[in-house]
Amino acid sequence: MTDTGFEKVPARNRRRFPGISSRAYEHPADRSALVALRKLSGFDTVFKALSGLLPERSLRLLFLSESVRVGETQFPHLHGMLRDACYILDLERVPQMYVQQDPKPNAMCIGLDEPIIVVTTGLVELLDEEEMRAVVGHEVGHALSGHAVYRTVLLFLTGLAMKVAWIPLGNVAIMALVTALREWFRKSELSADRAGLLVGQDVNASMRGLMKIAGGNHLHEMNVDAFLAQAEEYASSGDLRDSVLKILNVLPRSHPFTTVRAAELKKWSQNRDYQRIMDGHYPRRDEDKDASVSDSFRQSASHYADSVRTSKDPLMKLVGDLAGGAGDLGGKLRDKFTGAGAGAANGSAGAGEGNGSPGGATEQPG
């Protein structure tokens, strides 16, 4: 492959998705936000106008001067993975990629005009080829979705919050926006995990990579099924106090917890939506302008409703029970004022008499 086109297919035979829209793999909450933002006329222009205020140029210079730029002569294996990922997701403009000296395994995609991908040495040394391929696909998925723009804004606002902390209420307003952006960004990470799976097309490698990020390079000491069981235990164990602690623990984070990411990705890999994409049935990029904002919000709302209904978390169960109780109360009030309840009761009594119940009455639970 070259900078202007693709001359080689990926090293291993993988499916390619010409013209794929990021809507194909985006988490419902992520997708609804992005569809709405894409509909805003001049949105990209406004953010580009703000680029002088954001640290993008500074970050580019920093990585250029303090990191190693991936290319044909530097980290060529990563260079090949990057081009493979862009080929599979049909991202024509290949982002620049840097390796940064940092023992902590991490990767990110930032930038307003031209996204750049940064991976740490800790991550490169931790993962094998197929695990790393999923990570590179994850970051290319961020680039295709346009997440890099909002990640850059999040970095800027987080820094701004620290600078205005001394101003009364100033920090409160900024942190409210940062908290909302973090909630969106956590969902965008789930989207990018799906993009990584579409690129690597090896769910076991994706699982191993997440497990290593959580537990280090001791794969012989770990087990994917046991790791996923942790996610199940996290979701269902404890009482209301633990539910509140879960919320407090996740609020300052930009990423979901690793076991949660693994469980979400495993679930998606077994979903018919994933199989449809693999079979070549997916939304196309040239249809993005016609995507319905209201449909996207309905899908997002439906997802959250399903999450509450099926959740094993005590707090989510309580929310579901309260919602169900409110529905029951509304039904009882409706029956009271419409007389439907009395009619139902009379019908029940008549049925009892018809069935030969003693005295024409049926026994009711107390």
Buried-state track 215-226, b at ≥16 Cβ within 10 A, e below 16: eeeeeeeeebee
Check 56, 131, 139, 264 and give the catalytic one: 139
Taking a C-beta distance cutoff of 8 angstroms, is the pair 224, 211 a contact? yes
Rounded to an integer, what distance in angstroms lies between the CA atom of residue 274 and that of residue 272?
Answer: 5
Label each residue of the chain as H, E or C.
Answer: CECCECCCCCCCCCCCCCCECHHHCCCHHHHHHHHHHHHCCCHHHHHHHHHHCCCHHHHHHHHHHHCEECCCCCCHHHHHHHHHHHHHCCCCCCCEEEEECCCCCCEEEECCCCCEEEEEHHHHHHCCHHHHHHHHHHHHHHHHHCHHHHHHHHHHHHHHHHHCCCCCCHHHHHHHHHHHHHHHHHHHHHHHHHHHHHHHCCHHHHHHHHHHHHHCCCHHHCCHHHHHHHHHHHHHCCCHHHHHHHHHHHCCCCCCCHHHHHHHHHHHHCCHHHHHHHCCCCCEHHHHHHCCHHHHHHHHHHHHHHHHHHCCCHHHHHHHHHHHHHHHHHHHHHHHHHCHHHHHHHHHHHHHHHCCCHHHCCCCCC
Write out the two tokens for 292: 């319905």
Amino acid at 308: V
Distance of CA 228 to the CA centre of its chain: 17
Q: 219: phi > 0 → left, psi -120 to 50 → alpha, else beta; which?
A: alpha
Query: 139 an active-site residue?
Result: yes
Rounded to an integer, what distance in angstroms lies between the CA atom of residue 157 and that of residue 138?
Answer: 24
- List active site positions: 139
